Amino acid sequence: MADRNSPIGVFDSGVGGLTVAREIMRQMPDERIVYFGDTARVPYGNKSCNTVIRFTRQIIRFLMTQDVKAIVIACNTATACALETVENDLDIPIIGVIHAGARTAIESTKNGKIGIIGTEGTIRSGVYTRVIKEMREDIEVTGKPCPLLVPLVEEGLLHDSVTDEIASRYLSELKGKYIDTLILGCTHYPLLRSTVGRLMGPEVTLVNPAYETALELKQVLEENGLICDHDGSSIDKYHFYVSDLAEKFTSFAASILPGQVKETKQINIEEY
Ligand code: DGL
């Protein structure tokens, strides 16, 4: 039985999942977090689901060595490919980011036309469309893969003319679809929110699934009696691990989570 004061495990292929970790930190400031970014194997979005499932299993095995009480797959691609496969193997709660994003988008849309941008893997899986249609059949869903945005974010090119040009090409196709809501269906993309927002215009509401994911996590922890009861202000709450180049990750993470990132440890994820 997991301990309520154990950490929450959060992972992504790289830095994108920090957008979800940041929201968990905001909503549950006393909770401890172990974050893993698979920087040696990013991007996941152009890999097969079998490969992403194998990576996900290895990361879960690593997180279990850290005695986590719950796991958040802070990656749309891994949620799309692996959540249903791995959730039955575990005796702790595990959630992804897709249901949260779908729910928020349905609440936001007025004209019933929702767009999704994500990796090739996420869009190809059709999982957002399936989940949205299960909730509201009449909604029109248009997906657009934007594979180059992930390496641009990993390189820190958040405000750059190259990123602008590439995002503009990807988004032009969605502009003709009259969507009023766009899901940022990759956890890297909220870091490009201002660029995407400017290109889509003020009439399109951007949905970042991170906020709803943190809410869902809180609810799941409550249901399982797993909300921590310690005062987080006195402990070293956040631990970061990567599979490659710890220093690069630390400086990027420190710019997103000011004051929270002291060091990052590199591990060999293939050993798990
Ligand atoms: N940030 C991830 C996602 O939400 C993965 C990006 C990638 O590795 O391609 O899909």
Mean pLDDT of 260-266: 90
pLDDT attached to residue 1: 63
Q: Confidence class of residue 200 from pLDDT cuts 50, 70 and 90?
A: very high
Tell me if 101 is assigned to a ligand binding site.
no
Q: Confidence class of residue 260 from pLDDT cuts 50, 70 and 90?
A: confident
Residue 159 belongs to domain with CATH number: 3.40.50.1860
CB 170 within 8 A of CB 117: yes
Q: Are 201 and 110 found together in one domain?
A: yes
Percentage of the residues of the chain whose pLDDT score is greater than 70? 100
* Cα 45 to the center of its chain, rounded Å: 12
**Which strand ranges, in their side-by-side order, compose the sheet holding 140-145?**
140-145, 113-118, 181-184, 205-207
Asked about 146 being catalytic, the answer comes back as no
Our count of domains for the chain comes to 2
**Which among 49, 81, 146, 186 is annotated as catalytic?**
186
Q: Are 113 and 170 found together in one domain?
A: yes
Q: Are 106 and 202 found together in one domain?
A: yes
Q: Which two tokens stand for residue 45?
A: 């979005």
Of the three residues 189, 209, 229, the one that is the final residue of a domain is 209
Asked about 75 being catalytic, the answer comes back as yes
Q: Are 19 and 108 found together in one domain?
A: no
Q: Are 86 and 71 found together in one domain?
A: yes
Q: For residue 97, how far is its CA from the centre of ligand 1 (angstroms)?
A: 11
Mutate to test the pocket of ligand 1, among 125, 188, 191 (most ligand atoms within 8 A of CB): 188
- Residue (of 178, 111, 190, 114) closest to 149 by Cα position: 190
In a domain, 224, yes or no: yes
Q: Are 102 and 59 found together in one domain?
A: no
Handedness of CA 214, 215, 218, 220 (dihedral sign): negative
Q: Which residues pair with 264 in a beta bridge?
A: 240
Q: Are 194 and 218 found together in one domain?
A: no
Q: Which two tokens stand for residue 224?
A: 């399982």
Mean pLDDT of 107-112: 97
pLDDT attached to residue 259: 77
Give the C-alpha separation, 110 to 2, whole Å.
Answer: 42
Q: Are 127 and 167 found together in one domain?
A: yes
pLDDT attached to residue 234: 72
- Residue (of 218, 194, 219, 220) closest to 208 by Cα position: 194
In a domain, 3, yes or no: no
Q: Are 85 and 137 found together in one domain?
A: no
Of the three residues 209, 226, 252, the one that is the final residue of a domain is 209
Model confidence pLDDT, tens digit, residues 42-86: 999 999 999 999 999 999 999 999 999 999 999 999 999 999 999
The response to whether residue 213 sits with its C-beta less than 6 Å from ligand 1 reads: no
Tell me if 159 is assigned to a ligand binding site.
no
In terms of residue numbers, what domain contains 255?
Answer: 8-96+211-271
**Which among 75, 81, 146, 228 is annotated as catalytic?**
75
Q: Are 69 and 149 found together in one domain?
A: no
For the chain, what is the mean pLDDT?
Answer: 95
Instruction: Give the nearest ligand 1 atom to 16 CA.
Output: 1
Q: Are 200 and 233 found together in one domain?
A: no
In a domain, 205, yes or no: yes
Res 236 pLDDT > 90: no
Instruction: Give the nearest ligand 1 atom to 42 CA.
Output: 8
Give the C-alpha separation, 139 to 129, whole Å.
Answer: 9
Tell me if 99 is assigned to a ligand binding site.
no
CB 102 within 8 A of CB 57: no
Res 30 pLDDT > 90: yes
pTM for this model (two decimals): 0.95
Q: Which two tokens stand for residue 179?
A: 């969507």
Res 232 pLDDT > 80: no
Q: How many residues does the chain have?
A: 272
In a domain, 49, yes or no: yes
Q: Are 106 and 198 found together in one domain?
A: yes
